[in-house]
Amino acid sequence: MTTGQLAIAAPKCVADDFNGEIVALNLESGLYFSLRDLAGAVWRDLVAGHRAEDVVRAVSDSDPALGGEVGALVDRLLAEGLLRPVATDVPATGDITAAAFAAAGARAILVDTYDDMRDLVLTDPVHEVDEEAGWPTRREDT
């Protein structure tokens, strides 16, 4: 399992919180991800500066098996290029909310992956656009 502090893997990843649902886009792969329920809480805790092992431990206090699933989620977020390790520790802000989710009975680690906009995301808007039709129409090379 990954340890230490993590941050959004900018500039290759951008993310935002939409009323509790985290939407993260990997600009290199063209994939975007929806993280909801406990997965969203884990994301928010990690980007708030909480160490990965502290988040996993806090969830494990409520449910050890669920803590293992959270550890696997952290590893996946790194593997998908959404988060990256931080070289120097910064103070974390707030409490670990994933622990409160788990204590309240939340067990769903919901992560959906989408590739339906991959071609559009990976298109170079300067060099690959049809000059007459404009963005977002890709130029058809002959």
Angle at alpha carbon of residue 70, lines to 76 and 19, rounded to 5°: 85
Instruction: Please state the domain extents for the chain.
Output: 6-117
Mean pLDDT to the nearest integer, 131-139: 64
Q: Are 8 and 15 contacting, i.e. CB atoms less than 8 angstroms apart?
A: yes
CA dist., res. 70 & res. 108, Å (int): 10
Confidence of residue 60 (pLDDT cuts 50, 70, 90): very high
pTM of the model: 0.85
* pLDDT score at 136: 61
pLDDT at 13 over 80: yes
pLDDT at 142 over 50: no
